[in-house]
Structure 1
Amino acid sequence: MTLQLRAQPLTAAAFAPFGEVIEAEHQHQFHINDGKALRYHDIARAEALGDDARIAISLVDVEPYALPLAVTLMEKHPRGSQAFIPLDGQPFLILVAPRGPAPAPEAIRAFVSNGRQGVNYHTDTWHHPVVSLQDKQRFIIVDRIGQGDNCDLHHLQPGLLEVMLD
């Protein structure tokens, strides 16, 4: 039997156990650059564990996935946080599960970003690779670069979990 997971809208409160929602709404803001720019200040905390680590900013282009999405892979980063910030304004799907041992399918949650929200996964939080829903999308990634393995993978048996959108 396939477990079906319904994605819910991404909100800061619902996503708090897994990380932070990166969005301009409801954030501390102030003008800079002689009033020509509005800064949304300190909206997520990048984590990098280890003396040899640093925070990197990268870009990634993601091809769209077909729905319903058969979930077969989750990953986590035990040495640092990982943020995905969309640049194209398109909704995308986020799958997460609590920190700890490999997640059971029932523990996985699904959220849909409105396309102006990004996410910052807490260190050691299980997540699916970012899922574009409509077209190819570009994201900024902010994560840890350094010595040591920082990506644990967990493969789920095909047919156990399928994600649907309403």
Structure 2
Amino acid sequence: MRRLRPEPLTPEAFAPFGTVIEADPASAIGINAGFTTRFHALAEVEVEGGAPILSIFRGRPRPLVIDMLERHPSGTQAFVPLGGRPWLAVCAQAPGAPLRAFLARGDQGAQYARGAWHFPLLTLAAQDFLVVDRAAPERNVELADLAEPAQVALDG
């Protein structure tokens, strides 16, 4: 089985797959008489034929074997950890293309671009995630099994 080593989640590295959501000082705006800092417009929700919704996903650790990918052709999908623990985002340009694994800090979220191929939620410790995606009567997910699975290697 192929070994996949995660790289740090950075806006530049993740750009082909979506947007990193983090408190970027460049987007900081003081509000509420200076008692609150707003990190403004960190990602844009994109939906077609539905409505943007917020949900909480309760993630549990799972085997780090990447054997399939999914994508959402009608909208973006954002994950923001609420437990402050690291997690992984695994993506590819297409099924069968090289996989890339990103190690996200517990204060970083990621928004997958519309149609971006990715592995489902992959948390390293049990935690909740705020998820922003699309609700509509029709299904908005495509699945693809990988001919050659990969194992995410966290051991250096």
Superposition TM-score, scaled by structure 1 size: 0.88
Aligned length: 155
In the alignment, does 2:115 pair up with 1:124?
yes
Query: What amino acid sits opposite 1:83 in the alignment?
Result: A
Query: 8 Å contact 2:11–2:20 — kept in the other structure?
Result: yes
Deviation beyond 6 Å, 4+ runs, structure 1: none
State how far apart, in whole Å, the 1-side matches of 2:42 and 2:65 are.
32
In the alignment, does 2:44 pair up with 1:59?
no
| SS of the residue 1:116 aligns to | coil
Query: 8 Å contact 2:68–2:149 — kept in the other structure?
Result: no
In the alignment, does 2:155 pair up with 1:160?
no
Q: By how many angstroms is 1:62 displaced? A: 0.4
State how far apart, in whole Å, the 2-side matches of 1:91 and 1:24 are.
16
Q: By how many angstroms is 1:160 displaced? A: 2.8
Q: By how many angstroms is 1:70 displaced? A: 1.4
Q: By how many angstroms is 1:148 displaced? A: 2.3
State how far apart, in whole Å, the 2-side matches of 1:49 and 1:88 are.
30
Q: By how many angstroms is 1:27 displaced? A: 3.5
Q: Which residue of 2 aligns with 1:114?
A: 105
State how far apart, in whole Å, the 1-side matches of 2:134 and 2:120 are.
16
**Greater strand percent: which structure?**
2
Q: Deviations over 1:20-39 (max 9, x none)?
A: 00000344111112222110
Query: What amino acid sits opposite 1:29 in the alignment?
Result: A
The CA RMSD measured in Å over matched residues stands at: 1.4
Percent identical across equivalent pairs?
40
Query: What amino acid sits opposite 1:54 in the alignment?
Result: A
State how far apart, in whole Å, the 2-side matches of 1:42 and 1:119 are.
13
- Map of 1:1-166 to 2, 5 A cutoff? 2-50=1-49, 53-66=50-63, 69-98=64-93, 102-104=94-96, 106-133=97-124, 135-157=125-147, 160-165=149-154, 166=156
Instruction: Note the residue ranges of structure 2 that are not aligned, 5 or more in a row.
Output: none
Query: 8 Å contact 2:56–2:128 — kept in the other structure?
Result: yes
